[in-house]
Amino acid sequence: MGWNQNTVPKSYVALPAVGRIQAKGPEAAGLHDRILPGRITGTLTFDIVAVDPVRVGSGRPERVGGDKLVPGIVFGPGNQPVIPGSSIKGMLRSLAEALGGGCDTQDCRPPCVVCALFGQISGNRQLMGRIGFGDATPPGKKDVRLSLASTPRGFRPRRPVGRRWYRPVQAPDAKKIQQLAVTPNSRFRGRWQLVNVRPDELGLVLTAAGFDGSFLPRIGGGKYAGLGRVRFEPVEARLRGDYRTGRWTVLSGEDLQQHIDQWRKAWKPPEGANRVLAVLRGKA
Ligand SMILES: [Zn+2]
């Protein structure tokens, strides 16, 4: 299996995945040259609320309580903690791959459905994604609090072991180290940029983000130790009408929730997706 069984956390479970599904039609080419009718173009603003302590590590030590140094987290402008867009993209892409028939390779051409949406760089070829993720930052100064999370030493398989999923942790292991994290209920606000996204494609990403309410995705480090569960909450959508009218629609509250439910239901789970969902929901 490539790693010492004794080091595998008890919360680990291998996440199954739907087999690769080829992108069809104009999606395979990128669709960036004009705004298409019947597609979603604009921005969606979401809050990401920490349910567990969340730790997106910076790889740098931070000084806490005088001269004590602990592994730090990513800070942005104004010395505020941020969740980088790349972390949000990584989390959602990985789950969208497993659920939607994405690939797990560097060289996917013609692109699969997930590379066609999230983009892909392969050699000197680049396929621009139609969904982009900005950094998520605290909407107000008091929305994020820092604390120290005690976690067992990092779990690093010696070889890639496929997609991993971690169940809630009952009894954490013994040897621990302290690391900087944000506390539960910390809130970050971020945006997704959409260009010519089909409703079912957005539905896949919303499902990966846990919008059906049946599971919480995990972000950042220490997942094996019970860190990182987050809840997405919709804030606002600004959607462009077709290119002839050029009008924008702004949605929030109940209107936005209804649109999110519609987009989510536009995604029809491919064969095997229910097995993946069962693992995410802790029912397999
Ligand atoms: Zn692919």
Has residue 179 been placed in a domain?
A: yes
Has residue 128 been placed in a domain?
A: yes
Has residue 7 been placed in a domain?
A: no
Give residue-wise pLDDT tens across range 238-264. Answer: 999 766 677 889 999 999 999 999 999
Has residue 17 been placed in a domain?
A: no
Has residue 62 been placed in a domain?
A: yes
pLDDT, residue 246, reads 72
188-to-13, 28, 89, 182, 206 alpha-carbon distances in Å: 28, 33, 15, 11, 17
Determine the structural domain holding residue 164 and report its residue range: 39-207+217-279
Reply yes or no on whether the pLDDT at 174 is more than 70: no
Has residue 157 been placed in a domain?
A: yes
Whether residue 11 contacts residue 52, with contact meaning beta carbons closer than 8 Å, is answered with: no
Q: What is the mean pLDDT of the chain?
A: 87
Distance 107 CA to ligand 1 centre (A): 7
Name the band, by pLDDT with cuts 50, 70 and 90, for residue 157. low
Distance 103 CA to ligand 1 centre (A): 4
Has residue 8 been placed in a domain?
A: no
Distance 23 CA to ligand 1 centre (A): 9
Distance 219 CA to ligand 1 centre (A): 22
Whether residue 198 contacts residue 41, with contact meaning beta carbons closer than 8 Å, is answered with: no
Give residue-wise pLDDT tens across range 114-152. Answer: 999 999 877 777 888 999 999 999 999 899 999 999 887
Reply yes or no on whether the pLDDT at 279 is more than 90: yes
Distance 97 CA to ligand 1 centre (A): 8
Task: Write out the two tokens for 163.
Answer: 């997609």
Count: domains in the chain: 1
Distance 125 CA to ligand 1 centre (A): 13
Q: What average pLDDT score do residues 158-176 get?
A: 66
